[in-house]
Amino acid sequence: MAGTKGKAAIGKAAALAQAKALLTKAPLIDGHNDLPWVIRQQTGPQGDVVGYGLHKLHNDGDTDIPRLRKGLVAGQVFAAFIPSEIEHPGRATLEQLDLIKRIGETHPETFMPVLRAADMAKARKSGRIGMIMSVEGGVGLENSLSPLRVWHAMGARLMTLCHNGTLDWCDSATDTARHDGLTAFGRAVVGELNRLGMIIDCAHVSAKVMHDVLDASTAPIVFSHSNARALCPHPRNVPDDVIDRVPANGGLIMATFIPAFLNPAIDAWQRPLREQGGQGYGPEWNAMVAAHSASHGPCPKATLGDVATHIEYIAGRIGPQHLGIGSDFYGGPVTPEGVEDVSRFPFLVAELIRRGWSDAALIGLIGGNFMRVFKAVEGEGARLRLTTAPLIGTIRDYDGAGAAY
């Protein structure tokens, strides 16, 4: 595979030692983690960061400070995720952004907010984990452009356009398409994100929206937690014709650890549950999985090797410089064997070392490529703000009087 190979085969112990040595020199940045939603769901009152106790090992979860440190994580994108169907989505998004800010304020010795690309180096020099805020799902816009500027002012630097539900302006990969891609308002969202210097994330959108965003964006985009659809046909994965357009855009695809996005046998096993309306997370989904297991046998397993195989497939098509890692740890009960929690990132790097990846390719994969995109998006925003006024208005101003409001 061009650009990745550089080592002879070595044993597991030696590869792990090399991986840890590399991670002490080059920053690992994970592009997606839903810890804020876990805290919101598991504490009372909702969102009690102090009560959750991030400083302690949470054996029933996948993310806490001890394991972030053990995993040699240098930068973490924390998502302000809310479900598409939540009541008061605008308020809920602000609550989630506030929760992320309070993670940093509660543990200032561990986390440093990253508002500019240059802040990552400052965080690393101070021995802290750079904390990047994202919004997962544009439902919280409530069909207005103004919240984008509020989210940016709060510190958000990445936005996943939608989640599992189709919005009034954007088709989701896992819901019925209603717009044949982006509407005019959706294109305005892309334009304002470019102007603000926020990274656009197409992880959850339909394939047509992926193409529409690649057509419209003047800055690199990311797929913050998606894999290759050619290897696993889950609709959340990226098809080859989209993968092949990423180099021209300068963006990247960040391989994820969700089992159903890795292994086609898992995707097939879960498909009847999705057809029944299952969302893939939460207590209702867990109950559906338990009932399906009782009648159809246990769900197949995904492994660390599956993650590496998706990474190698994408690298083989477009080169390792367009890849990153976006774990999507969300406190769920099922993770791939070998990457069960945030402490296990070195084991993935070690697997790629054993497959012959060079240090240069690995440094890009684990964080260098993401930083390149971050800097490029930031630079494009600075350029646009010199000549372009903020985009204002609601969906009716762009999509007509009949649009949802």
Contact 280, 274 (CB under 8 A): yes
Provide the 8-state DSSP code for 201.
Answer: E
179 given a catalytic annotation: no
Which residue in 30, 34, 168, 312 is the catalytic one? 34
Rounded CA separation 8/276 (Å): 48
Contact 65, 54 (CB under 8 A): yes
Which residue in 152, 211, 225, 322 is the catalytic one? 225
Find the angle CA(213)-CA(214)-CA(220) to the nearest 5 degrees. 105
Contact 292, 324 (CB under 8 A): no
What the block records as the tokens of 115 is 């508002």
Peptide bond between residue 45 and the one before it cis (omega within 30 degrees of 0)? yes
Q: Collapse the DSSP code of 2 into the 3-class scheme (helix H, G, I; strand E, B; otherwise coil) and give the result.
A: coil
Contact 157, 198 (CB under 8 A): yes
As a dihedral over the C-alpha atoms of residue 156, residue 161, residue 163, residue 165, rounded to 10 degrees, the angle is 140
DSSP string covering 11-46 = -HHHHHHHHHHHHHHS-EEEEEE-HHHHHHHHSSST
Which residue in 204, 234, 292, 310 is the catalytic one? 204
Residue 108 makes CB contacts below 8 A (sequence gap 6+) with none
Other CB atoms closer than 10 Å to residue 13's CB: what's the count? Answer: 9
234 given a catalytic annotation: no
Which residue in 64, 328, 341, 378 is the catalytic one? 328
Which residue in 32, 211, 234, 310 is the catalytic one? 32
One-letter identity of residue 195: R
Contact 314, 255 (CB under 8 A): yes
Rounded CA separation 280/328 (Å): 12
Residue 57 makes CB contacts below 8 A (sequence gap 6+) with 64, 66, 67
225 given a catalytic annotation: yes
Provide the 8-state DSSP code for 368.
Answer: I
163 given a catalytic annotation: yes
Q: Biggest alpha carbon distance in the chain?
A: 64
58 given a catalytic annotation: no
Enumerate the active-site residues. 32, 34, 136, 163, 204, 225, 328
